[in-house]
Amino acid sequence: MVIPDAAAADAAAPDAVAVDAAPPDGPINAVTVVVYQGGAPAANMAVYWHAANGSYVGSVMTDSSGTAVIGSFPEGGAVTAPVTGTTVAQINHLTTVTNVSVGDTIVIGKSPGHAQLGSVDVTFPGTTAGAGTEFYVQPGCQNISTSNNAGTVSATLYDRCYPTAPSTVDIVGYTGTNSLSNNLTGYSFATGVAITGTPPDLTGSVTLPDWSTDFAQHTVVMNNTPAGVSIEGQVHTFRNGKFYWTQRHTTYSVGSVMDLSQPLKYANGFFDEVAPAIEVLQSGGRGTVAVRSSNVATNAAPVTTIFDVATDPPARITDFAVSTDPIRATWTAPSWGCRDNPGVPDVAVIRIYASTAVATWFGSAQDNYIWTVITRGDVAAPFSLPLLEPTVASTLWPTSSFQTAGGSATFVSDSNRTWDDIRLGEDQLDANPWPPAAGTRCVVQAN
């Protein structure tokens, strides 16, 4: 979706329509929008919708379930909703989903979940063999660190990792020196740790067994590396579908073969899936290729994963920029590629950041604004934001008051999901470089 300049869109805009309720017999050519704030349905929230060219069409308020039904929706149009704050003055974050089809149900603001379900008290093994000077413990999807190896750390359980309250959790801990990602010296884990109570007061406790030093070893190789880039080898680790840890280290390309020869290490016998990855960094842009599989290394059977720029091209955008008058994002599209998922990306997440000066009792400060647009991966530059209803635009997005503007763009290709899956899902903002299921995910990030 290419959004036109504001002036052109305004000239082409149909008359604005304010809709307070669906027609008695049900709307025709309807789109349903469900809005969440803080994990709960957002009642009495304005939802704005736009034509395919970005012009403003109308607005409707959500009901008590956070749901708004838009009748006579323009095919290929977009919907926008504020997703943070409880009053207009606090709502400084807008989210837009574009390329919406009649009959769609679009969910905004539900993912990721960050509600706390409770915690697990984890006691480290102490100063047994293998102990380092830094310590991490993970109950899945969350890292907790402590510098006291003899003490106990409280590891929080979140709803994003556990959609339903767990009766048991699996815990892994690491110790090392200077940088845990490169200098692990020991690991320990416990499975089936009992959890009692109800959210948000789930509780559990465990003392990890002595540190082990017989790490699984996973080497990542990059062939035909372009000159003048930094390369980061990564291995994302999983157990029972939950992400735990990313091992990584970086080196600089000096030749056509990039062997990140220091093996990446992880807990032996704990994980059941991995997603080895290569990330290429150049001039503010980065491209990642990750492949999730069950080929997990052990201490007795190391694994080597080979990537090749000739066949697994990690695309990069190195000239992303945001102008302020008008606010517009520009970039040069690279030659897209994603191993076994070729072609343009499935989705693009474009974020524009802006700020205004605000007078306070203590001097000056800033109000910060964010507008996130979730759109098809074939979106072209230059990219402008859709138009809002004029009477609220000066509050929700006060363009004339902005002193600074910037942004970022993330393009994602996923061998398991199409644009339709992403648009209609509850995790459109999930642009992490590890695939959600067996397959390949490529991520291009620019800022």
- Note whether residue 429 is domain-resident: no
- Dihedral of CA atoms 357, 358, 364, 369 in degrees, nearest 10, equals -60
Same domain, 253 and 301: yes
Q: Residues of the chain whose pLDDT is less than 50?
A: 1-24, 85-90, 256, 359-363, 431, 433
- Note whether residue 330 is domain-resident: yes
- Note whether residue 441 is domain-resident: no
Last residue of a domain, which of 108, 133, 162?
108
Whole-number pLDDT of residue 25: 55
Distance between CA atoms of residues 142 and 156, nearest Å: 7
For residue 442 the two structure tokens come to 């490529």
Listed in order, strand segments (DSSP E) in 12-70 are 17-19, 31-37, 40-41, 46-50, 56-61, 67-70
Same domain, 40 and 12: yes
Listed in order, strand segments (DSSP E) in 253-390 are 257-266, 273-282, 285-292, 303-308, 321-324, 327-330, 347-360, 363-376, 383-384
Distance between CA atoms of residues 132 and 297, nearest Å: 23
List of residues 6+ apart from 400 with CB closer than 8 A: 394
Same domain, 88 and 155: no
CA angle 325, 46, 49 (to 5 degrees): 60
Last residue of a domain, which of 176, 207, 238?
207
Same domain, 85 and 45: yes
- Note whether residue 432 is domain-resident: no
Structural domain boundaries enclosing 389? 321-422
Whole-number pLDDT of residue 226: 75
Antiparallel, parallel or unpaired: β 363-376 and 93-100: parallel
Element (H, E) at 444: strand 439-446
Whole-number pLDDT of residue 350: 94
Q: What is the number of domains present in the chain?
A: 4
Cβ atoms within 10 Å, residue 99: 19
Phi, psi of 90 (to 5 degrees): -95, -10
Q: Domain containing 77 — which CATH number?
A: 2.60.40.1120
Same domain, 76 and 127: no
Same domain, 13 and 95: yes
Same domain, 249 and 332: no
Same domain, 348 and 389: yes
Same domain, 147 and 220: no
Listed in order, strand segments (DSSP E) in 76-212 are 77-82, 93-100, 105-108, 116-123, 134-138, 144-146, 152-158, 168-176, 184-194, 202-207
List of residues 6+ apart from 87 with CB closer than 8 A: none
- Note whether residue 146 is domain-resident: yes
- Note whether residue 343 is domain-resident: yes
Q: Domain containing 253 — which CATH number?
A: 2.60.40
Last residue of a domain, which of 248, 283, 308?
308
Single out the residue of 330, 399, 393 nearest to residue 13, CA to CA.
393
In order of 348, 396, 434, 440, the CA distances from 289 in angstroms are 16, 37, 9, 7
Same domain, 327 and 410: yes
- Note whether residue 427 is domain-resident: no
For residue 68 the two structure tokens come to 């708004």
- Note whether residue 121 is domain-resident: yes
Tell me the whole-structure pTM to 2 decimals.
0.84
Same domain, 188 and 120: yes
Whole-number pLDDT of residue 268: 97
Q: What is the pLDDT of residues 337-376, one digit of tens each?
A: 787 777 789 899 999 998 887 544 444 556 788 999 999 9
Same domain, 411 and 342: yes
Distance between CA atoms of residues 193 and 171, nearest Å: 8
Whole-number pLDDT of residue 434: 53
